[in-house]
Amino acid sequence: MKCRACQADLPDEAAFCWRCGLPVRTDQEVNPAIFDLAREYSERVSQRPQDADARYNLARALIQLKRWGPAIKELLVVRELQPDFPDALYWLAVCYWHLGQRPDSQACLRELLKIDPHNPDALKLLHRLGNGFVPSLSAGATEEREEKK
């Protein structure tokens, strides 16, 4: 059996890929094109590590695969390469939010609002964070549930 994202050889009983960490079996299938995009952008990043656009696109593909940690890693490099890239800040905040790292998420959003004070997505997510909303563990990126107090 091979990993759908990185094509690593996997034992039949594997739950996760040893190379990229992607779950082998999921309840919800992801569009196979996302795996192809992740692989393509990963190759591009390895060939051109200073290409902020390739890293950003890889991060977006990883986000679609709900691989929050690796997406954060790529977005942090994008921030080093292009510090005032508002979309990178927004998606970094989203990833932190999904990992339950509310203070980091809020910090990214506040920094984004310094660059773009009227960014509707940043304002909306910052409002959600302030009201105690956390992402649903079983739902997609746009669905959330109220945190139990």
pLDDT digits (tens, 9 = 90+) for 67-105: 999 999 999 999 999 998 999 999 999 999 988 898 999
Amino acid 45 reads: V
- All residue ranges of the chain with pLDDT < 70 are 4-6, 16-29, 131-149
Residues 46 and 58 in one domain: yes
pLDDT of residue 138: 34
pLDDT at 29: 65
Q: State the residue range of the domain holding 133.
A: 84-149
Does 131 share its domain with 147? yes
Same domain? For 78 and 89 the reply is no
CA 37/CA 6 separation, integer angstroms: 11
Q: Same domain, yes or no, for 4 and 54?
A: yes
Distance CA(74)–CA(138), nearest Å, equals: 24
Q: Which of 52, 96, 44 is nearest to 74 (CA)?
A: 52
* Domain limit, last residue, from 39, 65, 82: 82
Question: Does one domain contain both 68 and 89?
Answer: no
